[in-house]
Structure 1
């Protein structure tokens, strides 16, 4: 069996979207764009700068970006003030294998994206705010922020409940259609 040529390997990698980083068995990361070894901290910095990054296993060519991102998150959670409480982590674990697993991933992704957009809007407004007004806002920051987050959390909870109701209604309709195929009449 012939092994793929270097040209074929490079063609496969060029089809990936983002800055290609190869991970070697010795756990070293090699940045193809700059032809140098980098650290996990460097990958984190690229992510912070919104640089699209793709990490591939140097031996197999497999995309291992998710595992590298999870490794960065783990290091951040251990090193500093964690974002995820034990309760949050336990609940995330409980969603694996649950029928809501796919929905939960999309739900978290949309909420984090909404939070990032909100943060971006706040940063833009802060840049346009006169310094004295910004100082007054910061003085209010402690009581204001929990209220904003509480409102956001309640809106998020309501959106989740609506989506769950829609999904239940869709399952009910599909069940009725399935039963009608076999001549059964579904009762309400």
Structure 2
């Protein structure tokens, strides 16, 4: 949908208060603009005649309409604090705080989505399994260069003994993890 990631979608407001999408050459509603924003697109709304930027005004109107329909995202105490921030001289600090808060919220949502896209990461002991897999692969592939045989070590008998005991430990831990996973699925 986005024409360019860095360029906001330009919406022009005509004297009749109709909103015109300059990319698709058609009229749009506030719900359409809200949809563009939810889809990740930035918008800029300007008055055709004066060239004034009306984006803030329309974004606030979209929020007010959602709140009046019962889509309450902003609790009353937050709205009250916002009103107070206009009168108490906190205007300089509140925008930065809100921007930082929403950045943290977006980062948190991204991490949740990553976790949901890979449900294995939420399993208890996943990090241990991952470490065991890495140790196993290191043991199995130790010393192998791409397309060549493993290097011979001076202490090859000692290395084989260490590798065998590490491999036995990994096998035992893997069996324990499989048993624990089977119990969780029952």
Q: CA deviation at 1:17?
A: 4.3
What CA distance in whole angstroms lies between the structure 1 residues aligned with 2:41 and 2:75? 28
Equivalent residue in structure 2 for 1:27, among 8, 17, 31: 17
Point out the structure with the larger helix share. Answer: 1
Helix, strand or coil at the partner of 2:40: coil
What CA distance in whole angstroms lies between the structure 1 residues aligned with 2:7 and 2:75? 33
Equivalent residue in structure 2 for 1:114, among 80, 101, 104: 104
Which protein is bigger by CA-based radius of gyration? 2
Q: CA deviation at 1:25?
A: 2.7
Question: Where in structure 2 are the equivalents of 1:8-27 lying within 5 Å?
Answer: 17-27=7-17
Tell me, yes or no, if the aligned pair for 1:22 and 1:30 is still in contact at 8 Å.
yes
1:111-147: CA deviations, max 9, x gaps?
Answer: 01110110111012101115x96xxxxxxxxxxxxxx
Name stretches of at least 5 consecutive residues in structure 1 with no aligned partner. Answer: 1-15, 134-188
Name stretches of at least 5 consecutive residues in structure 2 with no aligned partner. Answer: 1-5, 124-186
1:71-90: CA deviations, max 9, x gaps?
Answer: 11111111133011222211
- 1:79 aligned onto 2:69: yes
Question: Where in structure 2 are the equivalents of 1:101-140 lying within 5 Å?
Answer: 101-129=91-119
- 1:66 aligned onto 2:48: no
What CA distance in whole angstroms lies between the structure 2 residues aligned with 1:109 and 1:71? 19
- Name 2:88's counterpart in structure 1: 98
Q: CA deviation at 1:100?
A: 2.1
Q: State the number of aligned residues.
A: 117
Helix, strand or coil at the partner of 2:89: coil
What CA distance in whole angstroms lies between the structure 1 residues aligned with 2:95 and 2:56? 14
Q: TM-score, normalised by structure 2?
A: 0.58
Helix, strand or coil at the partner of 1:37: strand
Structure 1 vs Structure 2 CA RMSD:
1.9
Helix, strand or coil at the partner of 1:96: helix
